[in-house]
Amino acid sequence: MEARIKPNMSNAQGGDTLDKNNPRINEQITNPQVRLILSTGENIGIISTREALKKAEEAGLDLIEIAPNDTCPVCKILDFGKYKYEMQKRKADARKKQKIVEVKEIKFTPNIGDNDYAVKIKAAKRFLQDGNKVKFTLRFRGREMSYIDLGMEVLRRAQADLEGLAKIESEPKLEGRQMGMVASPVK
């Protein structure tokens, strides 16, 4: 029988600590008993770790701890290199399917023109349809601070125009010289 080369499983904390990226294999499994699954997928049941290691060696494969439980970990007889490759592929697929929600900002002024308003609402609708959140910021300059009610009216109008497409996450509120509101897409 040929000697198998054991993968180097040491990490920064020490060799015996359980690392999420690298499961324990072969002699690193310290539990006295394990639940064994063969490479074919057949469930053998609970056997001693020594016996499981012997079966893995006979098959010319590694004993890999799949699910580390307190009492009896689940181990599978597989090729460790192939197992690591499959796990990397799964992680890459999960990353591809993940959607990162961005917060897009749209800025208004209290006395915004109708055409400017229409263009900005159209952009907000596009952002919401793409699945992004939209933060509406209304900036007051100079004497415009005396027309806070105009600013509130612009944000309420935007809220009404986006009815059905967005739900308001944070209501319009004044913070210094800015008034803000956040809308998120409706699923």
CATH class of 26-97: alpha beta
Position 19 confidence tier, pLDDT thresholds 50, 70, 90: low
Domain ranges of the chain: 26-97, 103-185
For 27-59, the pLDDT digits (tens) are: 888 888 888 888 788 888 888 888 888 888 888
Average pLDDT, the chain: 83
Position 1 confidence tier, pLDDT thresholds 50, 70, 90: very low
Percentage above 90 pLDDT, the chain: 23
pLDDT at 18 over 50: no
Q: What proportions of the chain, in percent to the nearest 5, are helix, strand and coil? A: 35, 30, 35
What is the C-alpha separation between 77 and 86, in angstroms, rounded?
Answer: 15
For 103-112, the pLDDT digits (tens) are: 899 999 988 9
Position 83 confidence tier, pLDDT thresholds 50, 70, 90: confident
pTM of the model: 0.50
Position 131 confidence tier, pLDDT thresholds 50, 70, 90: confident
Q: Is residue 185 within 8 Å of 177, Cβ to Cβ?
A: no
Pick the CATH number of 103-185 from 3.30.230.10, 3.30.110.10, 3.90.1150.10, 3.40.190.10: 3.30.110.10
Residue of 138 and 6 predicted with greater confidence: 138
Q: What is the CA radius of gyration of the chain?
A: 30
**Where in 26-177 does DSSP place strands (E)?**
33-37, 43-48, 62-67, 74-78, 103-108, 133-139, 166-175
Q: What is the pLDDT, as a whole number, of residue 20?
A: 59
Provide CB contacts within 8 A for 70, sequence distance 6+.
Answer: none
